[in-house]
Structure 1
Amino acid sequence: MSETLDIQRPAKELIAALKDVGAATIAGTLGHMGFRNPHMVGPVSQSRGKTIVGPALTLQFMPQRPDLFSEGEYADPETQLHRHVLYHVQEGDVVVVDARGDMSSGVFGDMMSTYFKGRGGAGIVIDGCMRDRPNVEKLDLSLWLRGWTPNYHVQTSIYPNAVNVPIACGGVTVIPGDIIVADDDGVVVLPVAMAARVIEESQSHHEWEEFSRSKLMAGGSLQRYYPLHDDARAEYEEWRERARTPQGL
């Protein structure tokens, strides 16, 4: 069993509340809070239409150096730390891998992905590649990657160095336990301490956007309805009250 540290997982209520909030809304909300770029550049959806929300388990790769790393994949499998991050997977977790943007090393393949699926993981995010695409796709996993390669994880120039440490993935700092939200727009990193505030502001934003969308679809003024102008605030409040009042009361 892995001796690496496990993560502190956020409250299930936070995860549940974020499931209906898209990556774009979270990124925009964080942007207004000073988090200028919570979006990972590089990993893109390999499974269109899927959305994940869950805490991050992290895996860090480094450039190979012969005095620090010996392959030993089958001679001593436990030296391969990409296995160890999977040992920690609980239902709903997201494995996030800093593979240094390497396009020639398949971090996980068929068997590791099968194990991840069996553990109930929510999804995998890699600033790099996976391998065994035909078999992995049969597992119907939620994946955000740079691409695919036939090479195994240490075949070329990188090796797994640490599990559940702070990493940089797609240009974004990821702390173990951070909330990962990913959909067709991409992957964003939400610090747990910001989650409640993001949820509150996102819900408010969603409400007025619904109102504005209906007005724009009816030919309303862009200047008046997006973003919502102060002159339209009373109209919006009236619409919101009607929407929240059960019919007939």
Structure 2
Amino acid sequence: MKTQSELIIQQLKKISTASIATCLFKKGLRNQYIQNVTPLKKLKSNMVGRAYTLRYIPAREDLNPIEVFKDPKHLQRVAVEECPENHVLVIDSRKDPRAASAGAILATRLMKKGAAGVVTDGGFRDSEEISNLPMPAYHQRASAPTNLTLHQAIAINEPIGCGDVAVFPGDYIVGDNDGVMVIPQHLVDDVVSECQKMELFEKFVLEKVNQGTPIIGLYPLTSNDLRKEFEEWKK
């Protein structure tokens, strides 16, 4: 039997980020869309998972030589190893893609561990290799320099900012070809229910528009006749 979280993830895979954005806007949340990130390749299905976070600060040269990677407690490596299955690793790279947030080796490790995806508001190196993985990945643009030149890993699984959005551990992350939305975990049940109703209505609207029906009175639905027709259509 599926857990409640697994059922929610299954439902979110069928809901667009556009619908989620509108639903959250109606609830007063206007800033849940991660800015300036795109998928490394076109997706065939949504990326959905709970957020597991990694935060970078500006690198300080005396604390961030290349030898730090030898430390088994280096937080970038720890984040990759501890990111739970079916979660999305969300990386706060301060919106700075001049140095890579990670590369193909770490992304491949995430994929092998069962991560649902990875998102950074910076950039990835080895971007072509990452794009070929069977795991969604989002970034600003490709970036060859190692993260050590600009970024210092400072915290994992704490609240972060990614692309100007507050991301808390456990939030639901949904990505499609339009981008990535962050759903606060306490709202996810309502968001799923409302979005399913919204997308059902929009399917009806598209059918009517393709039949030549004018938008006024239909979208939004203010015509009583069309409202009755929609109720019959649902049956």
Counterpart in the other structure of 1:88: 82
Contact preservation (8 Å) 2:43, 2:136: no
Counterpart in the other structure of 1:201: 194
Contact preservation (8 Å) 2:102, 2:125: yes
Over 3 Å counting, the alpha-carbon distance change for 1:195 and 1:40 in structure 2 is same
Counterpart in the other structure of 2:151: 158
Over 3 Å counting, the alpha-carbon distance change for 1:36 and 1:134 in structure 2 is closer
Match for residue 143 of structure 2 among 143, 149, 163: 149
Counterpart in the other structure of 2:204: 211
Paired residue secondary structure (2:72): helix
Contact preservation (8 Å) 1:55, 1:93: yes
Q: Please report the TM-score for the alignment, with normalisation by the length of structure 2.
A: 0.92
Deviations 1:28-74 (A, max 9, x none): 10001000121010211111124211001100000123465554234
Structure 1 spans left out of the alignment, 5+ residues: 1-8, 242-249
Paired AA for residue 194 in structure 2:
E
Distance 1:40 1:108 in 2: 18
Q: After TM superposition, give the deviation of residue 131 of structure 1 in Å.
A: 0.8
Percent of aligned positions with the same letter in both sequences? Answer: 32
Paired AA for residue 157 in structure 1:
L
Counterpart in the other structure of 1:135: 129
Match for residue 5 of structure 2 among 11, 35, 59: 11
| Alignment pair present for 1:54 and 2:49 | yes
| Alignment pair present for 1:73 and 2:73 | no
Structure 2 spans left out of the alignment, 5+ residues: none
Q: Over alpha carbons, which structure has the higher Rg?
A: 1
Q: After TM superposition, give the deviation of residue 77 of structure 1 in Å.
A: 3.2
| Alignment pair present for 1:180 and 2:150 | no
The ranges of structure 1 where at least 4 consecutive aligned residues each deviate by more than 3 angstroms after the TM superposition are 66-71
Matches within 5 A, 1:231-246: 231=224, 232-241=226-235
| Alignment pair present for 1:106 and 2:100 | yes
Over 3 Å counting, the alpha-carbon distance change for 1:138 and 1:198 in structure 2 is closer
Over 3 Å counting, the alpha-carbon distance change for 1:107 and 1:235 in structure 2 is same
Q: Please report the TM-score for the alignment, with normalisation by the length of structure 1.
A: 0.87
Paired residue secondary structure (1:107): strand
Contact preservation (8 Å) 1:47, 1:141: no
Residue correspondences, number: 231
Distance 1:134 1:186 in 2: 19
Q: After TM superposition, give the deviation of residue 92 of structure 1 in Å.
A: 1.5
Paired AA for residue 41 in structure 2:
S
Contact preservation (8 Å) 1:212, 1:228: no
Paired AA for residue 222 in structure 1:
I
Counterpart in the other structure of 2:15: 21
Distance 1:58 1:10 in 2: 22
Q: After TM superposition, give the deviation of residue 201 of structure 1 in Å.
A: 0.9
Contact preservation (8 Å) 1:89, 1:120: no
Contact preservation (8 Å) 1:10, 1:55: no
